[in-house]
Homo-oligomer: A and B are copies of this chain.
Amino acid sequence: MANKSAPDASRRSERSRRAIFDAALTLVGEVGYEKLTIEGIASRAGVGKQTIYRWWPSKAAVLLDAFTAGVDEDYEKGLPNTGDLAADLKFVLRATVDEFNDPAFQAPYRALAAAGAGDEELSRSFVGRLLEPGTLVYVERLRAAQEAGQVADDIDVRLATEMLLSPFSQRWLMRTGELTHEFVDTLVDQVLRGLRPRD
């Protein structure tokens, strides 16, 4: 039997889900992770808090879903592979610089990273759901370059990825330096210099 109300209900659910994600991301950027509450998210999203509790067990679960909703698609696509490793890495890292210099993007991300630094369980989810998939797309791009003979066989590509991404993350999280296109360009060149096959 066709249930005429199902498509409408599904559209309403999707609208509520998006409203809850937007509210969670905005609020955590405004008040920080500690002071974020399910009640606050429900009120900002214009839904009842039971709606949230029906779908998620905790504020951490809402927030992680809200973050990954935006990035899962990017991770599936992987990094561009034009055959020019340096150009591909600079292209993606320059876009990432622009993203992290955008206050609307970075406030919720920072709140989650700061809370994760002090809270081991949250940090495991944060790493597993966000940081690790984000790292793996770089590992895969470097492995493709290694298979193409552009990166030496004895290079640990996981560690090479950390040499590339960690200086970025550290500058951003600890505010130890500026994030600019020039910074990532120099970083890419200096990291790749050590990865090339010896003649």
Interface of A is mostly: helix
Q: Which chain B residues lie closer than 8 Å to A111 at the CB level?
A: 118
A90 close to chain B: CB less than 8 A: no
A98 close to chain B: CB less than 8 A: no
CB <8 Å contact, B176 and A131: yes
CB < 8 Å neighbour of A162 from B126, B170, B173, B175: B170
- Determine the distance from Cα of A32 to Cα of B32 in the docked complex, in whole angstroms: 15
CB < 8 Å neighbour of A110 from B118, B126, B131: B118
- Determine the distance from Cα of A72 to Cα of B115 in the docked complex, in whole angstroms: 29
A6 close to chain B: CB less than 8 A: no
CB < 8 Å neighbour of A174 from B110, B131, B156, B192: B131
| Listed stretches A19-27, A48-56, A183-191; interface member | A183-191
A81 close to chain B: CB less than 8 A: no
Give the size of the chain A interface in residues (CB under 8 angstroms).
Answer: 44
CB <8 Å contact, B118 and A32: yes
- Closest-CB distance, A34 to chain B (whole angstroms): 7
CB <8 Å contact, B127 and A190: no
Nearest-neighbor residue (CB-CB) of A168 within chain B: B166
Chain A window 149-160, contacts with chain B (Cβ cutoff 8 Å), 1 for yes, 0 for no: 000000110011
Q: Would you give 9 A-B contacts (Cβ < 8 Å), ordered by A?
A: A34-B34, A110-B117, A117-B117, A124-B175, A132-B176, A156-B190, A162-B167, A165-B170, A169-B170
Residues on A facing B (Cβ under 8 Å)? 32, 34, 110-111, 113-118, 120, 123-124, 126-127, 131-132, 135, 155-156, 159-160, 162-163, 165-167, 169-171, 173-177, 183, 186-187, 190-195
Given contacts A159-B190, A162-B187, A163-B167, 12 further A-B contacts (CB under 8 A): A113-B174, A114-B115, A114-B117, A116-B174, A124-B175, A162-B167, A163-B187, A166-B170, A173-B173, A192-B194, A193-B194, A194-B195
